[in-house]
Amino acid sequence: MKKIRNAVIRCLDQNKGDETLVAELEKIIAKEGPEACQVIFQVLANLDLEQNEATMCWHETLDHQNAMTSLLGRRVSLTTALCDYFCSIHKSLKNPKVVEIHVYEKTVMDSNYDGLTGLMNRRYFDNALNREMSQAKRYNTDLSLLFLDLDDFKYFNDTYGHQAGDRALKMVADVIMKAKRTGDIATRYGGEEMVVIMPQTGNIEALVLGERIRERLENIEMECGGKSVNITVSGGVASYPANAEDATSLVKLADSALYRAKGSGKNAISLFSQDKRRFLRFDFTGAIQVRKLGFKETITFTGESKDISLGGVLFEHDSPLDIGTRIQISIPLSNEAPLLIIGTVVRMEALDSGRYDVGVSISFQELDKITKHEIKRYLASQLKSSS
């Protein structure tokens, strides 16, 4: 969004005439899509519109400009037409104020952006989260938060100085900006804490983004006082509606997941869970067949299962799997044909034996009816035998 905003502002600063301005803005819209319409109205009128509404208002504003031009017998500027449209027709503006764009942009930068990292600031975060939560509830979509915190940052500052600390914060912010998706909102929450708001995103996808950021950072070395130093982060993920029903709770739970990651040894990303065993879970030992999903993935390997639930499978394996890896698991629940389940790796833990515990999350909604029935039947039989 920042790239689009800069392109829009460049068009305004060039001041080549109104017809050229409209043509250049249309080129940006053609290249960037409906999001560009949102940015145009944010810049020109400080209005936050949904993409569909912004696209509709853009076309209606141009029609209104042509109508005013025809009625007055002279060219009416886009800014004038936009002001009249939003005051008289759309009625989103009640008392607009005329101000030079460079003055307005400085005000926006000072009020919305963090001066050190270039990320959005805490004030913007609060407003954006409430807005995105309202949209998620309105359109029945997911919304996730990724809460990130630099590991041992106080020690880093005390050891290498605050200038090095500032460089570390900038570096982390840069990695976040390059790793996040276009619709994600990256903010500096305060101090060494940074939060990414992810609209229309479930917790597994958010976990994958967190892992991507974490891995990129641990592979970067900073020069501090003639030494090469690694910066790591820990993170927590919470989602609406899976974990929380409002913005305040979502922040609290993502922060709770962050502290779980810190407690597990740092340099880790954790999903929030009231209980690590949210689903009824039973021991299930035996060999299972596992295969990574992908066009080039053809190797099937054997893992040693430990337990199973409606939410996932835990198995042990010789080698680690990347968080976010999609895999197919063949599970022999009975003497009949084994069940094939698609899942996502969400946990990876090194064991003292040199092997790894692999936690796989299963979306129960995605399972076919036969698979659901077989897992339910197995769990029910285990519950009966244990009672």
Catalytic residues: 192
Ramachandran area for residue 158 (φ above 0: left; ψ -120 to 50: alpha; else beta): alpha
Name every residue whose Cβ is closer than 8 Å to that of residue 92 and which is 6 or more positions away in sequence.
45, 47, 86
Nearest partner of 230 among 245, 247, 215, 251, judged by Cα: 215
Instruction: Tell the residue number behind the tokens 């001066």, with chain if given.
Output: 115
Q: Determine the Cα–Cα distance for residues 386 and 377; give it in Å rounded to an integer.
A: 14
Nearest partner of 196 among 263, 139, 258, 242, judged by Cα: 258
Dihedral angle computed from the Cα positions of residues 55, 61, 67 and 72, in that order, rounded to the nearest 10 degrees: -160
Q: Determine the Cα–Cα distance for residues 117 and 121; give it in Å rounded to an integer.
A: 9
The tokens for 37 are 């319409």
